[in-house]
Amino acid sequence: MMATQPQHLIDQNDDALMAQVAARDTSALRLLADRHAEIAWRIAYRMLGDRQEAEDVAQEALLRLWQHADRWQPGGSGVAAWLTRVATNACLDRLRRRRFVADDAVPERADESPLADETIEEDEVRNAVANCIEALPDRQRAAIVLTYYEERQNRMAAEILAMQVKAFESLLFRARGSLRDCVESKGVVA
């Protein structure tokens, strides 16, 4: 889709594009979406485990970008970091709402990804880890997703979760321990 964007926009950095979005330029928003929406979708998919819900979260993050463009401060951590923060918080909100809505256990979801040439042992490890991540408390899950799947440094992940770095590191330590204990209890060696 980037090829259909005006060249003067393609050459601009994110801060310049945000100024255009604040002026209600939909082409600039489209270009920012092309550049960064996938990160919001990936985080949401990994945290929520549902493709459609991940799409909804990514769209919600982009809508908030549009709505709050006039508040953008150039030179900050960037659009990708802002979308990461918004998507993570939207996922945490959705996970909290699920608890209040559903009294039943969360139903198991079918794995939609192709198995390719993976061995049975690799599948067992992957499924055990995924189930254990899903069983983690919300903030621990967010810490694991941001650190290991999105490869965020502790400082950035702490900022996204609105925490001090030391508090985030403590949260991540507990999340790793809980994840390790859960995987070991399933009898799977990772």
SS (H, E, C) 54-107: HHHHHHHHHHHHHHCHHHCCCCCCCHHHHHHHHHHHHHHHHHHHHHHHCCCCCC
Domains and CATH numbers, the chain: 1-107 (1.10.1740.10), 109-190 (1.10.10.10)
Distance of CA 161 to the CA centre of its chain: 11
Q: Is 135 helix (H, G, I), strand (E, B) or coil?
A: helix
- Counting Cα atoms < 13 Å in the Cβ hemisphere of 1 gives 11
- CA dist 174 and 170 (Å) reads 6
User: What integer pLDDT is reported at residue 168 of this predicted model?
Assistant: 94
Angle, vertex CA 59, rays to CA 130 and CA 145, nearest 5: 25
User: What integer pLDDT is reported at residue 105 of this predicted model?
Assistant: 58
User: What integer pLDDT is reported at residue 6 of this predicted model?
Assistant: 63
User: What integer pLDDT is reported at residue 155 of this predicted model?
Assistant: 93
- CA dist 116 and 160 (Å) reads 34
Mean pLDDT by 10 residues, the chain (190 residues): 59 87 91 92 92 94 93 86 92 84 59 56 80 92 92 92 94 94 80
